[in-house]
Structure 1
Amino acid sequence: MLLTDGGEPLGAAAPAARRTVEQVLALAPDDASRKAGNKLGTAGSWSDTGWDGTGAVWGLCKGSGSRPYRTVVDATGPAYKCSCPSRKFPCKHALGLLLLRAADDAAVPAGSPPDWAREWLDGRRARAEAKARPAVEGAAGLADPEAARKRAEKRAERIGGGARELEQRLTDLLRGGLAAAEQSGYGLWEETAARMVDAQAPGLAGRVRELGAVPASGPGWPVRLLEECALLHLLDSAWLGRDRLPPALAATVRTRVGLPASPEGPPVRDRWLVLAQYDTPEGKIVTRRIWLYGEESGRTALLLSFGAAGRAPAQALPVGATVDAGLTPHPGSGQLRAELGERFGVPEPAVTPPPGVTAAEAIAAYGRALGDDPWAESWPVTLRDVIPVPSPDGWQLVDAEGREALPVTPAALNRPSLWKLVAVSGGAPLTVFGECGHRGFDPLAAWPAGGTGAPVETVTLI
């Protein structure tokens, strides 16, 4: 994947639609950048602004020095270049420039990029073309397959050793009693996690670290710890016996343990509705999840990208838009994760929300997902005709007839954006997309009731 000065991958050459203010703010790497970008999203801060049909936006922004900062954005990535000293991507100037165009299209007239912007844009696209040449693919094919096989076998052996060591650690914990987990503190779990990293099993390491945090999670922690230990034991056992598993489940186990997997098979071209996009801090990196729904295939797909501290993850798509593109799925049960391939044309506003299911059908879908992937925390579903209603424990989504309901997850209850769900509903049924799991339903996007045939508003809830 080609990285630019802004740490972002080069997308297809198709032009990009103008983002909304909310979509621009979602690109910010942190709250401080979001606030600073807001202040620069006015015409008084900028001069010599412009945009062209390829998705490039540029301008000069007043700074503390005598020379203005030169800022250019390639919205097809998106990717960013600015002469300011900031190490954040996008910086506040790139955010301000995009906010200026989002709020007032007339403030950024169409035109041709100046030389300083064209130089960066041309260089970026030239590198992408060079990377796509067949010669590069041929060079990649020179790798010794026998050497690759031996490396894979050696890593599998190391992971197997780590899994057996982890099994002994779990056995000792249960033999000594769960109360010992609270007394030993987090240090022992961190040491065990480090051993899993040495065994080249980052997936096991991450689950071990989660175990270490359970004793401090409040009342009822022994039950939760026992549940997580059982799931970890199941993953260990599955890895050690992976040769006896069905191919799809074996691929899922390899992914859960932490082995990388490449997309395979022909791409699925469809008009993909961007349902939701959100970032999750995970140690020293930030993981971005983008949920898509194929209007013709009826498939739900997940795009994952990662960013280091202070950098936005690599991929961004406008929530509420439809993207004509090809997606290649990853192997494994469910095949939710996919890679975004070639895009065709410009993203367009969605006309209708995705079709929904009832609460009972959502629970059944999660149950089927657990049959394929016992470690799945949740499953993406769209609920139709539900109303947010307060409950003794928080909030729940109740169907219009009042016969079925799903509780909203505790994590969602703590998000300030949850008020949008209630405000948009106003007591009327909604279509809501989210993740249904054993903790309840986590709403990520909603669509108000209304007719079809005109673009619908997607209300983001995260």
Structure 2
Amino acid sequence: MTVQGVRWTADQVLALAPDTASRRAGSRLGAAGPWSGAGSSGEGALWGLCKGSGSKPYRTVVDLADVSGPAYKCSCPSRKFPCKHALGLLLLWAGEEGAVPRAEVPEWAGQWIEGRRGRTERKKATVSPSGPSGPSSGPADPEAARRRAERRAERITAGASELEQRLADLLRGGLAAAEQSGYGLWEETAARMVDAQAQGLAARVRELGAVPGTGPGWPSRLLEECALLHLLDQGWLRRERLPEGLAATVRSRIGLPASADGPPVRDRWLVLAQYDTADARLTTRRIWLYGTQSRRTSLLLSYGAAGRAPEPALPVGLALDAELSAYPGAGQARAALGEQFAPPAPTAERPPGTTTTLATAGYGDALRDDPWLDSVPVTLDRVIPVPDGDSWQLADADEDAALPLTPAARSRPGLWRLVALSGGAPVKVFGECGHRGFTPLAAWPEGPGEAVPLC
């Protein structure tokens, strides 16, 4: 970043874009042509005037000094954050040296920057580690909160018991009947789980209903999903007998909310991957971080309304000096971002890697703590992407072993970026390793070079 004397790369800038259209439009504005009066303060502030369709240029300001990530202000009517003009200004700054020269902050940009930084400082001064109200903060009526939790648990228990009966009816009638009954029966069952306030069960029921008729071997896949759903049901119904860590995992998988109650761990966290998934109602952002001192890999989850990019935005290749607190549950990687001590900055540091054999063994070990785990985060050392018939795999350069890529990974443009980066030579790859295979999310060349996002 500017405050450290290091600029971002174009890939890191484009990773901030809320969608593909903004990425393309911002790329077109990343040249000097439409800009006038562009400047930087040397303290994390960028500004510029971008020519638009009207008579007046758009005033665009970006604040890179905020520890929670970049902030943006633009006079254009766009409701996207960042808008294409903010992306274009960042690309201009990240490009040729001197394209955004040091200059005095103009009044229109300075007012917003000072006001925003002042509000941030006041907020930090009024929020204690225990919360906005200090150590005494908590539910206004703890007894009422306890009764609500008990009522919800009773509804979930009733829903889990009903689901057990539905699964028994399915197996008693034979799996072939699942294809004939159609998706409506499963959607009705999922709706019942929503009524029972068991969102996690509802999501798994919907996944179950999508399996029948999906190609060769679907009865086996359906039986596997039924078994996992039955295991989760039984885990909830017998939660008092489980070790606390596994019981917390069951509550999380069922859909009960939890707070990050682990002790804060301050570290220098490398940003390994950031990607969004979306449905009609919600956009979910996943950010994988690696602590260089704790050697812990943690997951940040954030959510935004459909069409809105969640926050924070932490592109691959940055490092963050911050505290993270873990969520409860055995084998859970999720953490909450706490106090941040410096703005995120580019780094050439890389996480340590492992072999494909040890990666699969690690996934197997993780299933003991969380049997419903689809994948685990893994960094592979010295692997080569090679075709395998109609699919691809990552072959270990130092032993006779390989990991197949997941179907989702084979359909992403990131696969070809990985192949081009490798060129037949070993590379370091970070991704998610599970029962469906390996999904690459970022990669580094064998020699010196920046992280390349693959998602």
Task: State the TM-score, normalizing by the size of structure 2.
Answer: 0.91
Aligned residues: 445
Give 1:9-408 correspondences, 5 Å limit.
18-75=7-64, 76=66, 77-132=69-124, 133-134=126-127, 136-138=132-134, 140-141=137-138, 143-408=140-405
The answer (yes or no) to whether the contact 2:246–2:329 under 8 Å persists in 1 is yes
Shift of the 351–60 alpha-carbon distance from structure 1 to 2, 3 Å rule, reads closer
Deviates more, 1:232-241 or 1:171-180: 171-180
- 1:135-182 deviations in Å (ceiling 9; x for gaps): 832484462222222222222222222222222222222222222222
* Partner of residue 10, structure 1: none
Deviates more, 1:268-277 or 1:49-58: 49-58
Shift of 1:252: 1.0
Using the alignment, how far apart are the partners of 2:102 and 2:150 within structure 1? Answer: 56
Shift of the 332–312 alpha-carbon distance from structure 1 to 2, 3 Å rule, reads same
Match of 1:215, SS state, is: coil
The answer (yes or no) to whether the contact 1:15–1:346 under 8 Å persists in 2 is no
Shift of 1:195: 2.0
Shift of 1:363: 0.9
Gaps of 5+ in 1: 1-13
Shift of 1:223: 1.3
- Specify the code of the residue in structure 2 equivalent to 1:90: P
Using the alignment, how far apart are the partners of 1:217 and 1:423 within structure 2? Answer: 33
Shift of the 159–119 alpha-carbon distance from structure 1 to 2, 3 Å rule, reads farther
- Specify the code of the residue in structure 1 equivalent to 2:93: R
The answer (yes or no) to whether the contact 1:16–1:346 under 8 Å persists in 2 is no
Using the alignment, how far apart are the partners of 2:174 and 2:6 within structure 1? Answer: 58
Give 1:431-450 correspondences, 5 Å limit.
431-450=428-447
Match of 2:351, SS state, is: coil
Match of 1:339, SS state, is: strand
- Specify the code of the residue in structure 2 equivalent to 1:151: R
Deviates more, 1:232-241 or 1:66-75: 66-75
Q: Is it true that 1:459 corresponds to 2:452 in the alignment?
A: yes
* Partner of residue 11, structure 1: none
Shift of the 188–71 alpha-carbon distance from structure 1 to 2, 3 Å rule, reads farther
Match of 1:63, SS state, is: coil
Shift of 1:105: 4.5
The answer (yes or no) to whether the contact 2:382–2:427 under 8 Å persists in 1 is yes
Q: Is it true that 1:427 corresponds to 2:424 in the alignment?
A: yes
Task: State the TM-score, normalizing by the size of structure 1.
Answer: 0.90
Deviates more, 1:225-234 or 1:368-377: 225-234
The answer (yes or no) to whether the contact 1:158–1:200 under 8 Å persists in 2 is yes
Match of 2:81, SS state, is: coil
Shift of the 146–221 alpha-carbon distance from structure 1 to 2, 3 Å rule, reads same
Match of 1:449, SS state, is: coil
Match of 1:386, SS state, is: strand
Match of 1:64, SS state, is: coil
Using the alignment, how far apart are the partners of 1:82 and 1:376 within structure 2? Answer: 42
Match of 1:43, SS state, is: coil
- Specify the code of the residue in structure 2 equivalent to 1:460: P
Gaps of 5+ in 2: none
Using the alignment, how far apart are the partners of 1:430 and 1:381 within structure 2? Answer: 14
Using the alignment, how far apart are the partners of 1:168 and 1:123 within structure 2? Answer: 59
Structure 1 stretches of 4+ moved >4 Å: 14-17
The answer (yes or no) to whether the contact 1:17–1:347 under 8 Å persists in 2 is no
Shift of 1:134: 4.9
Shift of 1:346: 4.6
Shift of 1:88: 2.0
Shift of 1:393: 4.3
Match of 1:36, SS state, is: helix
- 1:44-65 deviations in Å (ceiling 9; x for gaps): 2122223334433222222212
- 1:271-308 deviations in Å (ceiling 9; x for gaps): 21111111112442111111111112111111111122
- Specify the code of the residue in structure 2 equivalent to 1:137: S
Using the alignment, how far apart are the partners of 2:165 and 2:17 within structure 1? Answer: 44
The answer (yes or no) to whether the contact 1:71–1:94 under 8 Å persists in 2 is yes
- Specify the code of the residue in structure 2 equivalent to 1:147: A
Match of 1:44, SS state, is: coil
Shift of 1:368: 0.8
- Specify the code of the residue in structure 2 equivalent to 1:228: E
Root-mean-square deviation over aligned CA pairs? 2.2
Using the alignment, how far apart are the partners of 1:228 and 1:112 within structure 2? Answer: 62
